[in-house]
Amino acid sequence: MQPIPQPALQSSSAATTRMALVTAGPTEEPIDEVRFLGNRSSGRMGVALATALAEHGWRVRLALGPIRIAPPCHPLVEIVPFRSSQDLEALLRAELPAADLVVMAAAVADYRPRVVETGKMRRSAEGMTLALEGVPDLLATTKTARKPASRVFGFALEPAERLRASALEKLVRKDLAGIVANPLETMDAADIDGTLFLRDGRERTPGERCSKEAFARWLAAELSTMEVS
């Protein structure tokens, strides 16, 4: 496999004073005090992106869900942990007003238990039905907390056959500067075949399927170059 060409790292003062907010990992939606509904997001992409942006001089606030991989270790990356979608919503409202760049790589639940039981629910021979409620679309509902002129990017995991159509629909509905669309098969995989769709109609790719870390380096370079150009 050929190495992916990477633009030179930015050392621009425009970038060094700027703050990027990256979210990564799954949410855990509590059922009771010991159980939760989760998802299989590894957090690898968001973690790699936080480091890659820091290498371009960004001060990074990494909102990090409960992941099993090692967290990033870079002097410009500060980790802010979250567990549930409710935690993440509060965190976004607190962090968005100061963020110049936002990349929402977290895999946020779409549903959560309507009632969180106290203690540990007991086993019942009759089984049980769990009532769920919708989780608000965090990117859309926290829109008013965004810093004016900030650029906000989302991720979308889509079946290959409707990748472009769904990504473009989400880009508009969530009022984003761009969205990275990945085929569904990349969930939990080491590699990614992502496309960056921009609000102005442009589409960018690294040119080939690559590791999540290589994709993150490519994306960080794209976002940093766009910023200073």
**Which of 54, 104, 196, 214 touches ligand CTP by CB under 6 A?**
104
- Nearest approach in angstroms of CB 172 to ligand CTP is 12
Instruction: Identify the DSSP state of 64.
Output: E
- How many chain residues are in contact with ligand CTP, going by CB under 6 A? 13
**Which of 106, 152, 210, 216 touches ligand CTP by CB under 6 A?**
106
When asked if residue 167 is in the footprint of ligand CTP (CB under 6 A), the reply is no
Q: 145-180 burial string, b = 16+ CB within 10 Å, else e?
A: ebbeebbbbbbbbbeeeebeebbbebbeebebbbbb
Binding positions for ligand CTP, 142-161, rule CB under 6 A: 154-157
57 to 96: interface string for ligand CTP, x by CB under 6 A: ----------------------------------------
Q: Are 22 and 67 in contact (CB under 8 A)?
A: no
Q: How many helices (H) and strands (E) does the chain have?
A: 6, 14
Nearest to 49 by CA among 225, 222, 200: 222
Closer residue to ligand CTP in complex, CB, 62/135: 135
> CA separation (Å) from 200 to 168, 179, 205?
11, 12, 15
Which residues of the shown chain bind ligand CTP in the complex (CB under 6 A)? Answer: 104, 106, 108, 110, 135, 137-139, 154-157, 170
